[in-house]
Chain A
Amino acid sequence: MPTPSESSTVGGLRPDVSVVVIAYNDAARLPEAVASVLDQTLRALEVIVVDDASTDGTWDVAQALAEAHPDRVRAIRLPENSGGCSRPRNTGIDAAQGDYVMFLDSDDSLERHAAKNLLLTAERTGADLVSGLCVRVNVTNENKRTRWYARLYAEHATYDSIRDAPELLFDTLSTNKLYRREFLDRNGIRFPDGLHYEDLLFSTEAYCTAQPIAILPVEVYRWHVVEDAATASISNRRNNIANFRDRLQIHQRIDAYLVARGFDDLRPIKDRKFILQDLKLYLTDLARRDATYQEAWLNMAADYLETVSDEAVVSAGPLAAATAYLVRRRDLDETLHAAELWIHGRLSGGLCLDSGRAYLTGRYLEDDLGRELLDVTALHLHDAPFSRRNMRNRLVSIAGDRTAELRGEINDPLRAIDADDELSATLELRTADGRHRVDIARPQVELTAQGTLTWRASLAARRRPPRMPPNVKSWGLWMTLHHGDSVNVSQVISTTDVTAGRRLPWKRSPWTGQSLLWVERGPGDGVWLRVERASKAWRLADRVWSRVRRSGVYGDLRRLFLSARSRGLKSLVYRSVLVRLPVRRGTAVFESQLGRVYADNPKYVYRALRSAGDNRRVVWSYTESTSGWPQDAVLVKRASWRYFYELARAELWVDNQGFPPGAPKRRGTKYLQTWHGSPYKAMGFDQPQLQFGPADKRAEFAAGVGRWTHFCVQSPFADDTFRRAFRHSAKSLPSGYPRNDPLLRYDAAAVKDLRAQLELPDDRQIVLYAPTFRDSDRVTRTRSGLRLNLARLSELVGDRCYLLVRAHYLDRGSVPTRYSSFARDVSDYPDTTELLLLADGLITDYSSVMFDYALLRRPMLFYAYDLELYNQTRGSYFDLETEAPGPVVKTEDGVAEWLSDFRTPHLAYAERLERFVDKFCTYETGHASEDVVREFFGVGT
């Protein structure tokens, strides 16, 4: 009855797209690759499988596929093996019948909509070449995905020619693209036979000839990446020098092509790509090669780089350019040092200090270009304090059979350590995420005559390995070095394969059969150990255990067990028993940020209480460790039995966020809620989650707020806003915030001490970056991370500024160590007030630190990159753009510009700043803590 559609099969009709699938000895994976084509939403396509004379069953598989889909799959076999990808692909192009051609390797796959998306884009734009996003997918872990040159695929675009988007030359893959077949034929574009890296030349020719070129910012191609592959795919076999020769030959042919076709102007950007991608790839493991290879490599690379213009070298960016320059100078040692600094951020060679500037080496300073490129003053390697140096710590040898004698050396080019300095070190194992740490030895460290530090450690055959958390698959080797008060942490690396296949001399754990094996190469060039679980019993136990876990029985038992220690039970006992105990007159319980830190308003209230000579019994709650907490107080772990007991019996409660909802306040208890900042963003019942959320959440919140008897405010604005937002009826203390007293009673000597203690540079402006946490991150379970490109910023303003990054505790750890000369993560530093004191400028967004920092009248920048979304999702009480006491910027460029000079624009905000302080910090006098202590505790005069 219904009419059949005419295009459900390609039948005798000409297909829209031909996909050329090439295969060599890959019978296992070929069907999957072909299936990803047959499963495309575009059905008007054909598959051409070209078998490069495989010696396994690949040809049979290809024929079987062709038989199963006679009208869509064709199989072609080359008479003899070509040794590369060129001839099979060219054969495929010649056999193609579709209007457009795509390529697929037998170990990769196409995204389901790729062909249709590419085809529609080509038809819409009339492009000869459409390039889509390629995603590298880790075969063993599908979730590990990286986008190949994602910056080129940010949005849909059509370019009349490659000159409008020369950056495209960075993506030289031929497989993530769709080509008009007639365009390839007319211009004679084919893969070069007999050379590897054929993609590079092919795609350059295609880019240069295609008019127009369209960009599709949608995933089209899945490049399957195998980690630790026993047989690296052709292009990955970099240990053969011929491999590098091929690559250079391809580049020479590209250069010749560019000249012949009048594209000389693209040469610099192509050369930049050569340095940043091709050269870097080989430099990464050059140090591991033998001397003959290194010498041959260096000569070949230098020969080629001599044809590269200075302009192109300079454009590669500071360290890359310096490395390329040293290669061109055929200086192997310095090349290796520069490459290590560029790629791993580690200093392995010396530095040359000359008239206040720091250079990678002193050798080529007579050359103007050398002087320019080797200048690394802006990186602040030369004046970084001991704790922030990235010194190379190399494992030199492992000896011994029953015991492992490790020898290593640490490079200390700056001679920070004198012969008679006291040094101690710990060798430790750390997991890749840094969450677990196990100390394994205390090495002996010595300073040699040449100025390097050597260390030796002996790992004795132990009865049993140290206790290790289960489920950790691999460990990295790290060393912590103590030099006086300074601590330096470095990863132990190895440039020679000293470790391969050896076992740690520890006994296997009797339970798990665990033993540790040195790994030849793990992530980066660090030394890694793999955990080997050999015992059969363990494997069996492991299987049973995972069964049990999956069945849910484990979860149930665990919940049952935990419920005995749960808050619910404690709260029940609290309400029925504990609150009937007599109140201890005068006792106070203090807490800051749910016990996470000893800081903020409660800390300064506590200090004022003690300095007023009051010796009452005070209980402080903590969550993780007691270090940093005052010794003259009783310290109690939050949410423990003891904690509920103390809460029940105390007469006074002081905190800045909220005691557990399961602990209602007794009638006689006074509760000082200092809160932790005036409101910009929606608070309390104005928060969308409460406003539109379930009623029981609202009731619980209201009960919590109902306990407050006293409430600190900074201004009438805050008083008003909080009263409405929290619907509280506590007595407002118009005192200002106790934590801000140090800001108003500025003590220059203390600030100087703080700067020294944190080892901050004296010659640069200290800027604190303190963004707020985004609710949306919690909802979408993502992390915003640091919205600043540290590499770029350090290049632009590294000589003027030093950045302190204070992220939300969920976002911490966002500053890679390699930028330690420019930025530092201070998220774990307990007291914000102290950071505010020493910062010369502040970058924030919607955080309440703006109301505190304004008191210092120092420059402020508001980096509100998501102002609209934030206001839409969270809501705010005033318009930031009109009231902020500093510029509001939405882009990183704005931040860079402000950082380059924030003193001058600050002058223009003087009046607005005063208005801001008047409105939002009205009550601040610098004596808030005394006022609060007098008002709440009745202590002092």
Chain B
Amino acid sequence: MTAAAEERSAPESRHRRNIFIVANNIEEVGGLQRVVHTLAEGFAERGHAVELIGISPGPPGARIEPGRGYQTMTLGPAEPAEWVPRGIRAKLRPVKQAKERFRRRVHARNVGRLQARFDRVEDGVVIVGQIWAMQWVADADTRHLRVIGMSHESYEASRGLLPTAIGSTRYRRIMQLYPPIDAVLLLTEVDARKFEQRGLCNVQVMHNPLPQWPDQVSPLTDKRVVAIGRLEPEKRYDRLLDAWKIVATRHPGWRLDIYGAGSLAMSLHDQIEEAGLVDSAVLQGPTKDPFSVLQRASVLALSSEQEGLPLVLAEAMATGVPCVAFDCVPGIREIIRDGEDGLVVRNRDVDALADGICRLIEDEQLRRSFGSRGRHNIERFRLDRILDRWEQLFEQVDR
């Protein structure tokens, strides 16, 4: 052991660990990426040696800025899709075969790069952010390391049961690659139990942390309802706008701001025009700082059809903003305690969503009590708390 290393591990009585976090890509601006960067920075601050590894580069566009104290790397350019040859006709396709040979070489090279990082340490922990990335970790030799895998979606979504995830093969891959590793982390108790019943024996629950804890809470005086999230089909903003049509007629002074970019921008724009909501509903485009948006909001609405554990609810509650959400996945109730610090309404029921929003608009007292209780309750998502849980987990897998 070198003197430098000794010095670094000495100041704290805590055990200094080598932590690798592996994710599909670490560059795209997305929920998962935000989580792994937050964790990496948190671990680094606590004195661990952290390296964040992306399997392939993110799609072109906005890049997430790495934080301080940890290294990042990407294994290499995206690998072509795997091709499994079947039958004699497959043998007559030299181009395909050559491509597949090439893919295997690229894959082997990428696994080799990963292996080189792993081999530089004698022990440590590998955290695999998504099941897809596990295919590289599984091909590497990790006998000297502990491996922890994560899955950030509900059981139904990974089984391919949900409308927005039809035909997902992630369940199959989870049941194939995750059983031997040291721990599998799921977002909610309900999902953990479902996987457990299907025979996965190493499941645990770990919440994602809030990236920051806002000092300022919203005054809850602006007549603004907000929604934050990508403009994609599974977010069902069309339903939110249907509900808003009802709200807008009852409370003309209020407005709805939707933050996010995505493929449905045009069609939502059309829907706003058709419904005659141009004055009260606005597509604001993406935001980099959700907390400053929330500090000027009075209600947050979530109309999704499919979510994992939607952190935007936790962010809103941390800012003291009460939420109304569809009861679409177990994760919703894991964040909001219905009637205590927010409202959970029947999934897909547009009228119920409108009623929920109206209830919060009409009753300022309710808004305030939900807001303050929510901020208190949601402390369990604070980074410090979550990092404590992680350190407990590290000790557990080390035994």
Contact = CB atoms under 8 A, between A and B. Distances in A.
A112 B163 contact: no
Contacts of B180: 112
B164 A120 contact: no
A111 B89 CA distance: 42
A780 B159 contact: yes
A116 B120 CA distance: 28
Contact of A688 (B5, B120, B123, B163): B163
Interface in A111-129: 111-114, 116-117, 119-120
Contact of A218 (B49, B156, B201, B398): B201
A42 B397 CA distance: 8
Chain A interface category by residue count:
35 or more
B124 A688 contact: no
> Which label, helix, strand, loop or mixed, suits the secondary structure of the B interface?
loop
Interface stretch (A3-11, A447-455, A636-644): A3-11
Interface string B80-91: 000000111110
Given A2-B49, A556-B89, A116 B163 contact: no
A256 interface: no
Contacts of A776: 159, 161
B182 A5 contact: no
A80 to B, nearest CB: 38
Interface in A93-150: 111-114, 116-117, 119-120
Nearest to B6: A3
B230 to A, nearest CB: 16
Nearest to B179: A112
Interface string A856-890: 00000000000011011101000000000000000
B348 A3 contact: no
B268 to A, nearest CB: 17
Contacts of B266: none
Contacts of A8: 123
B156 A692 contact: no
B201 A117 contact: yes
Given A112-B201, A692-B233, A872 B162 contact: yes
Nearest to A220: B201
Nearest to B4: A1
A7 B15 CA distance: 12
Interface in B322-347: 328, 347
A82 interface: no
Nearest to B396: A120
Interface in B218-242: 233
B280 to A, nearest CB: 27
A217 B167 CA distance: 29
Nearest to A689: B166
B351 to A, nearest CB: 11
Interface residues of B, number: 44
Contact of B399 (A43, A693, A873): A43
B161 A779 contact: yes
B363 interface: no
Nearest to B234: A692
A780 B166 CA distance: 11
A16 B123 CA distance: 21
Contacts of B162: 688, 872-873
B196 interface: yes
B233 to A, nearest CB: 7
A600 B328 CA distance: 37
Nearest to A218: B201
B33 to A, nearest CB: 24
B199 interface: yes
A718 B18 CA distance: 63
Contact of B398 (A7, A113, A114, A555): A7
A219 B202 CA distance: 10
A154 B159 CA distance: 21
Contacts of A875: 163, 348
A552 interface: yes
A41 B202 contact: yes
Contact of B166 (A217, A219, A693): A693
Contacts of B2: 1
Contact of B199 (A41, A219, A692, A693): A219
A81 interface: no
A4 B123 contact: yes
A3 B163 contact: no
B87 A873 contact: no
A691 B236 CA distance: 13
B113 interface: no
B333 to A, nearest CB: 12
Contacts of A41: 182, 202, 397
A44 interface: yes
Contact of B87 (A5, A155, A220, A553): A553
Nearest to B89: A556
B166 A871 contact: no
Contacts of B201: 111-114, 117, 218-220
B1 interface: yes
Contact of B18 (A2, A111, A556, A871): A2
Interface string A834-875: 000000000000000000000000000000000011011101
Closest 7 CB pairs of A and B: A688-B163, A552-B87, A556-B87, A2-B121, A113-B201, A113-B202, A556-B88
Given A2-B18, A8-B123, 16 more contacts: A1-B5, A1-B121, A2-B123, A112-B180, A113-B201, A116-B399, A119-B399, A217-B197, A218-B196, A218-B201, A555-B87, A688-B166, A692-B163, A693-B166, A779-B159, A780-B159
16 contacts: A1-B120, A2-B124, A3-B123, A16-B399, A44-B399, A112-B179, A112-B202, A116-B399, A218-B201, A219-B199, A220-B201, A555-B86, A692-B163, A776-B161, A869-B161, A873-B156
Interface of A: 1-5, 7-8, 16, 41-44, 111-114, 116-117, 119-120, 155, 217-220, 552-553, 555-556, 559, 688-689, 691-693, 776, 779-780, 868-869, 871-873, 875
